[in-house]
Amino acid sequence: MNKEELKEVLVLLEDANVNASLCDTPVPLSGCSVICGYPRETCDMDLSDYLLLPKDIVGMHPQIFIPAEGDSMIEAGYEPGDSLRVKLDVSAHDGDDVLIWIDGKCTVKTYYTDEDGQKWLVPRNAAYDSIPLTEEMDVRVFGIVVGVEKASFRAPSRTLLQAIRKTKNKLKAASKLTKEEVDERIRKVGAIVVHARQWYAVYRALLDKSLTPEDDFKGFCDRVKRLLPEHDHLPEPKEISRMAVQSFAKPISLWVESNAPVAGSRFRDYLHIGLTMSDSLAA
């Protein structure tokens, strides 16, 4: 297929409301990876291949793909094996992720100037220290990262395990609470409940932690009445059960306003009460 035929295909795709571009601009791929960790001793630009991208994406400035190593920029989404697309010969501004040369070493970090005018390279991983840039250093900014081609679309196992362990720890902490400790947390959260149906958020938080039987609305309401007999807005089983619909029938972490029985400030009130109760059970 020649270039004219490709253009005809693009016109047909555009008529079909498909956003397509012709990948006709080569962007070199460096054979040398860059450390997203401690600075590396070298940063030569040996080219191993080219990737084709649409010209409107590449723009006027030269660009290059550089494989990433290390984990200091993990919170920016850069993982080992990813290809960082770097726009060369451009000025760096605060918040840009820069490909930078420091005293014969090369690295990728986030560029930032603090309130005292000191320039820093900031890692996106708390395990690493920020690097102050001083006048004594031989510094050259090669370019800024403008895109990343993921080596894999699978979420990293480390990130998933950390999230799972965090939840497990919360559940363990909640399971260690005595009945009296849970009662005390119900009493405290009652101070922010200003409508009888809002007690559903408290019930849902208990259910999420397996601290109350499912669908036992009467048992929950009786418990609240026993603990807070003078409360101005005591729950009734029928009213509480009516809230267990749409996203409110799911764990609080899955509540979304677009699919909830209440909206706006009312939704935010329910969410605030539920999260407050959940956090207290994990404390």
- Looking at the fold, whether 130 and 39 belong to one and the same domain comes out as yes
**What is the rounded distance in angstroms from the CA atom of residue 67 to the CA atom of residue 247?**
42
- Looking at the fold, whether 14 and 104 belong to one and the same domain comes out as yes
Domain with 89 in it: what CATH number?
A: 2.10.109.10
- Looking at the fold, whether 120 and 215 belong to one and the same domain comes out as no
- Looking at the fold, whether 30 and 130 belong to one and the same domain comes out as yes
pLDDT band of residue 205 (cuts 50, 70, 90) is very high
Instruction: Give the pLDDT confidence score for residue 167 in this predicted structure.
Output: 76
Last residue of some domain: 149, 181, 206? Answer: 149
- Total domains in the chain come to 2
**pTM for this predicted structure:** 0.43
Q: What is the pLDDT of residues 133-190, one digit of tens each?
A: 998 998 888 888 988 877 765 666 667 777 888 777 776 666 678 899 999 999 999 9
- Looking at the fold, whether 220 and 93 belong to one and the same domain comes out as no
- Looking at the fold, whether 130 and 165 belong to one and the same domain comes out as no
Residue 43 reports pLDDT greater than 60: no
- Looking at the fold, whether 165 and 211 belong to one and the same domain comes out as yes
Q: What is the mean pLDDT of residues 191-197?
A: 96
Q: What is the mean pLDDT of residues 195-206?
A: 96
Q: What is the mean pLDDT of residues 53-65?
A: 59
**Percent of the chain with pLDDT strictly greater than 70:** 73
Range of the domain at 41: 3-149
Residue 74 reports pLDDT greater than 60: yes
- Looking at the fold, whether 144 and 224 belong to one and the same domain comes out as no
Q: What is the pLDDT of residues 214-249, one digit of tens each?
A: 999 999 999 999 999 999 999 999 999 999 999 999
Alpha-carbon Rg for the chain in angstroms: 28
Contacts of residue 155, defined as CB under 8 A and 6 or more positions apart, other chains included, come to none
How far out from the chain centre does Cα 155 lie?
12
Tokens matching residue 255: 């509540």
For β-strands 63-69 and 34-35, DSSP reports them as parallel
